[in-house]
Structure formats: C-alpha cells, structure tokens
Amino acid sequence: MDEGETAPTAGAASGRELLRLTDVQLPWRFADRDERLALLDIFLEDFMFHLAIMKRQWRIGEMTCLGLAFAGMMLGAWDLGIGELAGGGDYNRVGLSGFQNLSDLSLMLALLSIIAWVGIFATLWARYPIMRENLVYLWIAMIAVQLGSISSHSKSPDFPWGSTGMDWVILGISNLILFFLAIVVVHRAVIETRDIHVEERHSHPDPRVVQKAWRDHSLRAWSLSLGMWMIMVNLMSWSGSHAIAQRPPIVDYSGMLVAMFVVTGFLSVAFLMHVLWYPQFMLGGAEDRIQSVRAREVAGEAPEPVARAEQGKCPICSGPTPAVRHENGSIEVPCSEECSGLGKPGTACSECDTVLPIRIECPSCSSNTTIVSHFSRPEAW
C-alpha cells in the first residue's frame, strides 16, 4: 500500500521503519490448536494491523469527529430535564410547525444536534477526499434506514410486536437501499479499485512478491467494519424510533432504549469513519479514484489492457511456480529466498553471482522438474 508504506513499524525504535500487514506477528495462533481455525488468525492479524495504524494516524480530526458524534447523539436524544421527548410532544404538529412549537431550550438543543451532524459530515468530507462520493452514498443509505424505521413505527408503535406486513415491507425496502449502496456500490468500488491498484502498481515477475502485495492490501477487516456499520445503523434507527413511538403521554419512556440509541449511533459514526479512512490510507497516496470497473468504463477511464507475463505451472500438479516467461519468450527465475535476484536459468545471478537453477521445486507438490516444462507449448501438429 502506498500511504501505509510510510507508516512506522509497531514497537520500532525509529519512526522511519515501515509497517506492513505482512509484518504483523501474533503472539499465539489459533491454528496451533486447530488448523481449521487458521482463518481467525488471518482476521486477527488484520485487526492488529488496523489498530496499530489507527493509533499512529488518527489525530485531532478523527477525535473531533467522534466528539461531535457523541454530542450530536446526546443533544438530540436526551431531554436534559425538559421533558419534551418523554412527554410525547404534540403529535398533531409535524415538520416546521413542530419545530416552531418547541420550547426555546428544546429548539436550541435540536439545532445544536443538527449543527453537530453537519460538522461530522464536513469533517469526513474534508479528511477523506477520495471517498467523498462514497460518503454521500453511505449517508443516503443511513437516512433511508432511519426513515424506514420511523415509517414502520408510525402505525405499529411496538414494532416489531403487533406489526403488519406493510411495516416490514417498508423497512425491507429501506434495507435494500442500504444493501445496494453499501455493498453493490461502495464495497464493490473499493474492492475493484484495490484490485486495479495491486495489478498495476505492484506487478512483479516473482509471484511471492505479488502474493505479499495482495496480502498487504487485504480488505477483510474493512469489509467486516462495513458490515458492522450496517448493523449499527439498523439498531440506532430502531431504538431511536421505538423510544418515542408511543402515543402521548408516554408512561413507560425507556432510558435504556435512549442509551442504546446513543451508543449505537456513536458506534455507527466510528465504523463509518473507519470505512472511509482505510481506503484513503491504503490508496490515497497513489491518487486512485474509488470507482468500480463498470463506472470507469462509463467514464472512459477503464485501464488499458497490459501484456502479462506467463506464470509457470508445475507439469505434475499444475500449481503455480516462481518461474515466469515474458512476452519476448525470455524466462526468469528467482535466485533463492535469501536473495532477491532474478535472471535467466543457468546464468549468474546479478545480485550474488550464484548460478540460477535450471530445475525448480514445485511449492505445491514438491516435484523437481526442469523449468522449460513449466510453460505451455503449442502442439506439433
């Protein structure tokens, strides 16, 4: 990754050392107990890497955004002794008429909450420029779910208890909007931009280097964060609507529901910030635009097809091998794990003067065969 490649190594004495995902070492591994738990080690490595980078990169801007999120949720959710929300208000007045009939203190708190949310959007917009388009999509999705939850509670105050099929249809439609914008649009755009970035900027004749680049650009933890944001948005929307859906006077106004609304709302902003921050961190230094392949084609910005070298395949098991044949027919092999040199088989390595092998061992099946046999050849007739 580009911007991330300048980040300091965790625990390093010098801030100039680099931190990559492949540098993360777990103190203990689940796979040592059971090989079927190896996937947990992969996710844990991702989480440790994200936490290490966040600890170094999240500064006053991110803290300000989180502070505004907490303030906005508190100011908009609690009466602070006024009793406007707990009393149920005047449900005959809606929209601007409802605002005009609020008490002065309630109106002030509502306006301050709106200002805080505007500040959150402005902060995210300014700090993550390559994710601005996706910020708009996610913001629209969040509003859609909130409106869907409010609509579902409008005729069924105890939703989901005592609800009708139409209540679920409205909430389902709002979640379809959330799924489409978050997964089909944003997730796909980030994934495909990452793929193009690695293929174009981290190409290398040694497949081990390419494999390491793919691992360094892993989006597993980011994808999980996006999923958690979707869950938090639904919980925030339901708890906020449920807390005030009862017809006045509200005799069982639940402080626990309000607390749930504040906590889930705060967490939704935190996850949203992480969702926007990580692609900016990973791809921002390369000035890549976060777009899907289809969007690039429509905009006329699809990457030009590039000639690709042929990766060697084991003649025994067909698994990939380190040998590479270029377009001009020349074959390159890596020297050894201790040396980064490359060259033609049987010639001296440019790095250590060791004679490069003419036979290599397959990483998959350990068969030792000639390098020439690792490439497809046209039939004689």
| Per-residue model confidence as pLDDT tens digits over 3-61 | 444 333 333 333 345 678 877 888 888 877 887 888 888 888 888 899 988 988 888 98
Q: What is the residue type of 63?
A: M
Query: DSSP class of residue 319?
Result: -
pLDDT of residue 348: 82
Q: Helix, strand, or coil here: 81?
A: coil
Q: Which amino acid is at 150?
A: I
* SS (HEC) of the chain: CCCHHHCCCCCCCCCCCCCCHHHCCCCCCHHHCCHHHHHHHHHHHHHHHHHHHHHHHCCHHHHHHHHHHHHHHHHHHCCCCCCCCCCCCCCCCCHHHHHHCCCHHHHHHHHHHHHHHHHHHHHHHHHCHHHHHHHHHHHHHHHHHHHHHHHHHHCCCCCCCCCCHHHHHHHHHHHHHHHHHHHHHHHHHHHHHHHHHHHHHCCCCCHHHHHHHHHHCCCHHHHHHHHHHHHHHHHHHHHHHHHHCCCCCCCCCCHHHHHHHHHHHHHHHHHHHHHHHHHHHHHHHHCCCCCCHHHHHHCCCCCCCCCCCEEEECCCCCCEEEEEECCCCCEEEEEECCEEEEECCCCECCCCCCECCCEEECCCCCCEEEHHHHCCCCCCC
CA contacts within 13 A on the Cβ side of 307: 5
Query: In degrees rounded to 5, what are phi and psi of residue 31?
Result: -65, -25
Instruction: Give me the residues paired with residue 361 across strands.
Output: 368
107-111, 206-210, 215-219, 225-229: the lowest-pLDDT one? 206-210
Please report the sign of the dihedral spanned by the C-alpha atoms of residue 98, residue 101, residue 103, residue 104: positive
Segment holding 132, helix H or strand E: helix 132-154
3-state DSSP assignment of residue 118: helix
Residue 325 has what pLDDT? Answer: 78
pLDDT in the model for residue 8: 32
In 3D space, the residue among 73, 110, 113 whose CA is nearest the CA of residue 95 turns out to be 110
Peptide bond before residue 249 is cis, with ω within 30 degrees of 0: yes
Write the burial class of residue 379 (CB in 10 Å: 0-12 exposed, 13-18 middle, 19+ buried). exposed
CB 333 within 8 A of CB 357: yes
Residue 213 or 272, more confident = 272
Cβ atoms of 49 and 24 closer than 8 Å: yes
Three-state DSSP at 342 gives strand
- Is residue 330 over pLDDT 70? yes
368 forms beta bridges with 361
pLDDT tens across 347-362, in order? 888 777 788 888 888 8
* The total number of residues written for the chain in this structure: 381
Tokens 């379809």 correspond to what residue?
176
Peptide bond between residue 320 and the one before it cis (omega within 30 degrees of 0): no
**What pLDDT was estimated at residue 308?**
61
Q: Counting beta carbons within 10 angstroms of the beta carbon of residue 171, is it exposed (0 to 12), middle (13 to 18) or buried (19 or more)?
A: buried
pTM over 0.75: no
- Cα–Cα distances in angstroms (integers) from residue 134 to residues 127, 137, 151, 221, in the given order: 13, 5, 26, 18
For residue 94, the model assigns a pLDDT of: 62
Q: Which of 184-188, 252-256, 366-370 has the lowest mean pLDDT?
A: 252-256
Kindly indicate the confidence band of residue 312, based on its pLDDT and cuts at 50, 70 and 90.
confident
Which residue in 209, 166, 179 sits closest to 309, CA to CA?
Answer: 209
CA dist 15 and 17 (Å) reads 6
DSSP assignment, residue 8? P
**Average pLDDT, stretch 84-112?**
67
User: What's the mean pLDDT when you consider all of the chain?
Assistant: 79
